[in-house]
Structure 1
Amino acid sequence: MPEHCAAFSCSNRRTIASRARGITFHKFPKDKDVRKKWEVALRREGFHASDTSVLCSHHFNQGDFDRTGQIVRLRDGVIPSVFSFPVHLQRLEKGRATSSSRRAEESLSVASQDSQEMATSSPQPQPNDVNISTLNVIS
């Protein structure tokens, strides 16, 4: 029986064709804490992984894999992090909470704008340009 990837809206199945495309499938960890982190990362309400639940390699970064042997394995403690969630499952980016951190962020953006303006307004000397006043003439 083919295994399907447990990620939201992922249609990858363990088949000969998916293997030929280089897609690997990985069972959920047996360690309860790490398994729970995988389940939370999926953002599927009410989902609990079974012993046969798998995720495909599309949901991991390239550095998460150990490809030194004949079998492609995940490194210890890796959590899946590559998903394309619909809008209702996406997490909002949290901004700065305190007024002092917001002011610091604003001053950094103003400083970077000032430095960009200075870089574009004053021409930079080229390596081949020679300033005649700095040349010493030996007689």
Structure 2
Amino acid sequence: MPDFCAAYGCTNARSLQTRTRGITFHKFPKCSERRRQWERALRREGFVANDRTLLCSEHFRNEDFDRTGQTVRFKAGAVPSVFNFPAHLQRPVAPRSTNASRKSGENQPMDPEQDQPPPDVALKAKLDAAMATVRKLWREKSNALARVRRAKKNMKALLEELKAKNLINEEPFYTCL
């Protein structure tokens, strides 16, 4: 059974393509208060999440994730906040009530979410792929360094054993002219 994102208008399904784009899928929290926060964030009338309901990582900010381990986890209190809602689901912005408040708000956007451009999904996927490559290269580097340390240790042990059996002496194999 395919797994789909529960967000309004999101067509992401768990597949090899979404995995290569760096999109992860997450179950709703078991804690009833956090689950209600996630359900309210979706703005779907009458929506109740079940045990298999999922949200994709595109509906969370990068700061909401803890990617230090092998498994992608949420930081404490993470709530989905990146959506592309149609006009009827947008939260209304209250108009300014006095001349002074209208003047003070002329240079500032009334809704900070409207002022920011929507997240560039392709750019996010490239960044996530690059970060995964960096993590993989760091892991390979540390594994290579560990192999070098083991090889040096084995070489020293072998030389000590050969010296103990008087099969080699302390002098180097080559002589300087």
Task: Count residues with an aligned counterpart.
Answer: 107
Q: CA RMSD, aligned part only?
A: 1.7
Structure 1 residues 85, 106: closer, same or farther in 2, change over 3 A?
A: closer
Offset at residue 96 of structure 1 (A) = 4.0
Structure 1 residues 109, 81: closer, same or farther in 2, change over 3 A?
A: closer
Secondary structure in structure 1 of the residue aligned to 2:80: coil
Structure with the greater alpha carbon radius of gyration? 2
**2:66 pairs with 1:62:** no
Match of 2:79?
A: 79
Offset at residue 94 of structure 1 (A) = 1.8
**2:104 pairs with 1:108:** yes
Match of 1:120?
A: none
Offset at residue 2 of structure 1 (A) = 1.6
Structure 1 residues 87, 73: closer, same or farther in 2, change over 3 A?
A: same
Match of 1:26?
A: 26
Structure 1 gap segments, 5+ residues each? 113-139
Answer whether contact 2:27 2:55 (CA < 8 A) is retained.
yes
Match of 2:94?
A: 94
Secondary structure in structure 1 of the residue aligned to 2:34: helix
Answer whether contact 2:5 2:11 (CA < 8 A) is retained.
yes
Q: Structure 2-normalised TM-score?
A: 0.56
Secondary structure in structure 1 of the residue aligned to 2:26: strand
Match of 2:9?
A: 9
Question: How far apart, CA to CA, are the structure 2 residues paired with 1:103 and 1:84?
Answer: 32
Task: Kindly provide the amino acid, as one letter, of the partner of residue 108 in structure 1.
Answer: S
Query: Which structure features the higher share of helix residues?
Result: 2
Question: How far apart, CA to CA, are the structure 1 residues paired with 2:36 and 2:105?
Answer: 39
Match of 2:49?
A: 49
Q: Structure 1-normalised TM-score?
A: 0.71
Task: Kindly provide the amino acid, as one letter, of the partner of residue 69 in structure 2.
Answer: G
Q: Give identity over the alignment, percent.
A: 54
Offset at residue 108 of structure 1 (A) = 3.4
Question: How far apart, CA to CA, are the structure 2 residues paired with 1:107 and 1:8?
Answer: 36
Answer whether contact 2:96 2:102 (CA < 8 A) is retained.
no
Offset at residue 76 of structure 1 (A) = 1.4
Secondary structure in structure 1 of the residue aligned to 2:19: helix
Secondary structure in structure 1 of the residue aligned to 2:55: strand
Structure 2 gap segments, 5+ residues each? 108-177
Instruction: Extract structure 1 runs of 4+ deviating beyond 3 A.
Output: 106-110
